[in-house]
Amino acid sequence: MKKFFCFAAALILLGMVVSCKKESNQVLIFSSSEDFRIEHMQKRLNEQFPQYSVVINYMTTGNLAAKLKAEGTATDCDIVGEMDYAYLEGILDSLADLSSYDSSMFLDELIPEHHKYFPLYKNAGCIAINEKFLADRGLPVPSSYADLIKPEYKGMISMPSPKSSGTGYLFLKNLVNVWGEDAAFAYFDKLAENILQFTSSGSGPVNALIQGEAGIGLGMTMQVAAAVNRGSTLKAVFFDEGSPYSMYGTGIIKGKETRQAVREVFEFYYTTLSREDKELFVPEQIFKSQTNAIANYPVNTKPADMRGIENLAEKERLLDKWKY
């Protein structure tokens, strides 16, 4: 009987060792990136780390922020692959200190003093247009936000919901800054009458244009450029208010930085993969030495007024007023 219990105990210990080994070799990244960017990153991570099981899980910006805020350091997430700065500020207590990592390659103004996250990319917005969709219906390309609330565009416009999408919030915050809060919300009440769908993700509007479901989308400049480079006949236009934008960052959940696999993957992610991301998809500058030129990506666009875009309290207050 004694030998049996010793044998059983040995099996349990062996199982624990195997389990720990398996756990230490797995790295879970949660990201709100677009599918084509995640596809590239996943492929490169698989190539770079065949000894690890590295998985990128997609969640919308709002859902990911809610998940990490609720779960804290007990989350299954190891690396926050992508989240806007405002939401990252809301989970600082759950993020590891990255002071030991080299951040000298980034523009100084993009590094927070607390060093809890690093910049990943600058997300710029545009008015995406499917010119054929509009031409087939005898409609002109809109040239202002005022045009978008005209009755002839009813049911032809797609916009991301600011509650779930950082891209959607870009447009809301910009107009609040430029027009004032009351005027901006009154405008979106009118715009809602013309909206085909408030999508849960920032990529939703451009996808709707590609599929011929909508003619106008409040979307991401990089996604329009990527679609054009794949053969789609879309166009990015910018109204007088300029191109709205915000910063997205990446970090490690506190306690996970002690694992070698997480450290190695994060090092590769925020340096090599981030640079590839700029070269292939998002050329907006975040590195000191960065000269990217992506075909069909608009240049010399006017930046919109984005004061307070990283203020989480302000974001939550405005989103509480959003009713769509």
- Give the model's pLDDT for residue 23: 55
Give the pLDDT score at 12.
Answer: 40
Q: How many CB atoms neighbour CB 246 within 10 A?
A: 20
The two beta strands, 118-130 and 216-220, are: antiparallel
85-131 pLDDT, tens digit each:
999 999 999 999 999 999 999 999 999 999 999 999 999 999 999 99
Give the model confidence (pLDDT) of 15-64 as tens digits. Answer: 443 334 345 799 999 999 989 999 999 999 999 999 999 999 999 888 99
Where do the domains of the chain lie, and which CATH numbers do they carry? 123-245+308-321 (3.40.190.10)
pLDDT tens figures, 217-264: 999 999 999 999 999 999 999 999 999 999 999 999 999 999 999 999
Measured CA to CA in angstroms, residue 42 lies from 39, 81, 141 at distances of: 5, 11, 37
Rounded CA gap, 5 and 275, in Å? Answer: 55
Q: How many helices, marked H, and strands, marked E, lie in the chain?
A: 13, 9
Q: What is the pTM of this model?
A: 0.85
Residues present in the chain in total: 324
pLDDT reported for residue 9: 41
Query: What tens digit of pLDDT does each residue of 267-298 get?
Result: 999 999 999 999 999 999 999 998 878 999 99
